[in-house]
Structure 1
Amino acid sequence: MSSRFGTVDIGSNSLRFLAVERASGLLCYLDSGIWTIRLGRGLRDGEYVIQEDVLSMGLQTVEEAWKRLDALNVPLNNRVIFATESLRSSSNAHEIADIVEKKTGLALRILDGRQEALYSYRGALLGMDVNDALVFDLGGGSLELCCKNFNVSLPLGAIRIKASFDEDTVAIKSHVRSKLREVLKEGSMMQVAEIIGVGGTSSTAAMILKGIPIKNYHPSKVHATRIEEKDIESLIEFLKQMDVETRRHLTGLEPGRADIIVSGLCVISAILEFFGADRYTHSECDLLWGVIADAVTKKYAVDVKGICWGVN
C-alpha cells in the first residue's frame, strides 16, 4: 500500500499541486508546483462565466500537474482534485467538473466556503506549534477566516478586490473592514493569541521581504516567517511606486501576480488592523496540506501528527 498522497487545487488565480509521503505519522514534503492560470478573470460580484481561453489553459495545467504526480508514483486512489471560489461562483462549473473528471479519472470536488476555511485552518495548524490561532487564507477569489470559535468565507480575494477598487488602498481597507464588521466583532481576538496567514499574497510578501528569488523557492525557506504590519504597509507603498511591468522583475514576486499584489496586501493590512494585531506568522502549510491530512485520516483512521520538509 503506497504511503504517497497528492492533491491539485484549481484556484481563482493559480493552479497548485502538492505531493507528500506519510512517514511515522507525519506528512513529509515531496514536491509542489504552481502555475498562474487566472481562472477567476472577470470575477467581481455575483456569478460569472469562465471563458474558453482561460479554461483551455487551466485544463492543460491540470494535465501537467497530473503528470508530476504520476512521476512521483502517487496512486490515483491517494489523490484529491478540488476547486474553490473560481468554480463556486462560475455558472459553468458543472460543465468544467465533467471535463476535469474525464481527464483525471477523479471527480472534482468543489469546496464550499466553510470547507475551504476548515481545511486551511487544519493545514496551517499542522505546520505550526500552536493549539489554536486565527487563520486567514487569502486567495484570488475569496478570503477565509477560521479559529475554534468561528469560520467564514468572504468574497474578498485579491482578484475580486483589484477588479472592484484597482489599487485604491484607502477604499480597499475600508471595504474589507466593513465586510469583517458584518460577520465579526471589531477588535475582538475571541481568545486567539496568534494570527497565521496562508495563500499566495502572504507567501509572496514573505518571499519579497526575505529577498528569495522565485527560482530558489522552497516552502521551508518561507514557512513560519513572522511578518510585521509595518512591513506590509512599507511593501504597499514600495510597490505602488512601480508600474506592473517593473514589478514583474522584482525579486520574490511571481510575474503573474504583479497586478494583484497590492490589492492582496491591502486586504492583509485591513485584517491586521481589524483585529488590532501588529504582526502575523506566514505558513506554507495551507489548504492543500489540510485536504491531504483529511484524506490520510480517513484512510488510516489516525490523526496526522505534523509535517516535515523531506523524507529521510
Structure 2
Amino acid sequence: MSEPVAAIDCGTNTIKLLVGDLLADPEGVRRESRMIRLGQGVDATGRLAPEALERAWVAIDEIAGIIRGAGVAPGRIRFCATSATRDASNAAEFTAGVHARLGIDPEVLSGEEEARLAFDGAVRGLAASSVEVGSPALVVDIGGGSTELILGDPATGPSAAHSMDIGSVRLHERHVRHDPITPEEVAAVVADIDAALDACPVDPAAARTVIAVAGTNTTIAAGTLGLAAYDRDLIHARVLAVPEVLAQVDRLLAMTVAERRDLGWMHPGRADVIDAGALIVARVLARLAVGGVVVAETDILDGIAWSLVAQA
C-alpha cells in the first residue's frame, strides 16, 4: 500500500517541496517553491546570514504546515540541503532550526548522491512524458551556488558526475556591481565559468542527449519559448535549439533588473542573478556536440521523492 511522501530540496536560492502519493495519485502531487536566498553572502563570508535564516524559517514553517495537512508520516519526509549549507561555518544553526520545525535533520548530500538523485528525477520525468532519452545523457543542473554536470545511461544511471562552485548567486555576488551587467563583469564571470569547465572531468561534448534542469534553465526556456507567463506544463520536455537559447541569453544580459522583473515568466527573486546564471548556460552550451537541449521540470526534488518511495 502506497502512502504520501514529502521531499524538500533546499538550495542556495530556492527551497522546493514535493508532497503527495507518487504511486496512487501522481496527478495530485503538490509542488511548492519559495525564493529564500539562503546562500546570501556565503561566498564572501562563509556564513549563513541572519536575514537569510529568517527567510528560511518562514518558508519551512509554511512547508511544515503543508506536510502536516497532507498526513505525511515523519519517516516519509526527506530534507536535502546542497551548496549553501555545505559551505557555511554556522550550518549547525540551520540544522537545529530545521529539526525544530520538521522533526528531522537536513541531509547535506554527497556529490555522488546528489548526482544520482538529479539524474533519476530528470530521466523519470522525461520518460513519463514519452521522451526518448538517448545515451549517454548529460544532465545540466544550474543552481544558485553550484552547477552539476552528470553523465550517464538512462537505464543504469550516472557514470560520471562533477559539482562546480559556479552558480547564479555565487557568481553574481562575486563579480556584478552594475545594472545591467557591464562587458567587463561579463568577462569576469565567464572567466570563472570557463576555468571551472576546463577543470571539470565531465565533458559536455560526450553527450548524445542534453537535459537542462532547475530554475535558471527552465526560466531561460520560458523566455526562449516566448511564453506570456511561466508554465511548467508548456516547458517540460520541450526541445530548444542552442542558437535560440543563446539569443535569449543575450537579451537577458542587455536588460536591467527592473526590465527582467517585468517579464511575465520571470520570478522576481531570480531577476537580479539571472545574468550570471545565463552566462553559465551559454558557456556550457558552447561545449556541446549537439544542436539542441531538452528541458525537464523534474529534477533532484523528484529524485528525492522517488527515493522515499523506494524505501517503502
Q: Does residue 193 of structure 1 match 2:246?
A: no
Q: Is the 8 A contact 1:139 1:158 kept in 2?
A: yes
Kindly indicate whether the alpha-carbon contact (under 8 Å) linking 1:2 and 1:74 is maintained by their aligned counterparts in 2: no
- What is the letter of the counterpart of residue 137 of structure 1? D
TM-score, with structure 1 as normaliser: 0.86
Q: CA deviation at 1:213?
A: 4.9
RMSD, aligned α-carbons:
2.1
SS at 2:21's partner residue?
Answer: strand
Picking from 234, 243, 262, the partner of 2:275 is: 262
Map of 2:144 onto structure 1: 140
Q: Whole-Å Cα distance in 2 between the matches of residues 4 and 185 of structure 1?
A: 36
Match of 2:175 among 160, 165, 168: 165
The correspondence for 1:52, drawn from 39, 50, 53, is 50
5+ residue gaps, structure 2: 127-131, 153-158
Residue in 2 that maps onto 1:38: 37
Matched residue type, 1:157: G
Give the one of 163, 171, 180 matched to 2:197. Answer: 180
CA–CA separation in structure 2 for the residues paired with 1:109 and 1:22? 22
TM alignment of 1:36-185, pairs within 5 A: 36-44=35-43, 48-128=46-126, 129-130=132-133, 132=135, 133-148=137-152, 149-166=159-176, 167=181, 168-184=185-201
Q: Which residue of the partner structure matches residue 16 of structure 1?
A: 16
1:212-244 per-residue CA deviation (whole Å, 9 max, x = no partner) reads: 455x63x32311122222222212221223211
Q: Residue 43 of structure 1 contacts residue 141 of structure 1 at CA under 8 Å; is this kept in 2?
A: no
Displacement, 1:187? 6.4
- Change in Cα spacing, 1:185 to 1:90, as seen in structure 2 (3 Å) is closer
CA distance in 2, matches of 1:246, 1:94: 38
Q: How many residues align?
A: 293
Q: Give the letter aligned to residue 155 of structure 1.
A: D
What is the TM-score normalised by the length of structure 2?
A: 0.86
Amino acid at match of 1:198: V
1:259, distance to aligned residue in structure 2 (A): 0.7
Q: Pick which of 275-284 and 77-86 moved more.
A: 275-284
Secondary structure of 1:55's match? helix
Aligned-partner Cα distance in 2 for 1:248–1:113: 33
| Partner SS for 2:43 | coil
Q: CA deviation at 1:276?
A: 3.2
Closer/same/farther in 2, CA of residues 237 and 275 from structure 1, 3 Å limit: closer
Structure 1 residues 15, 240: CA separation in 2 closer, same or farther (over 3 Å shift)?
Answer: same
Alpha-carbon distance in structure 2 between the residues aligned to 1:293 and 1:154: 25
Deviations 1:277-305 (A, max 9, x none): 33211111100101111121122xxxxxx
The one-letter amino acid paired with 1:73 is G
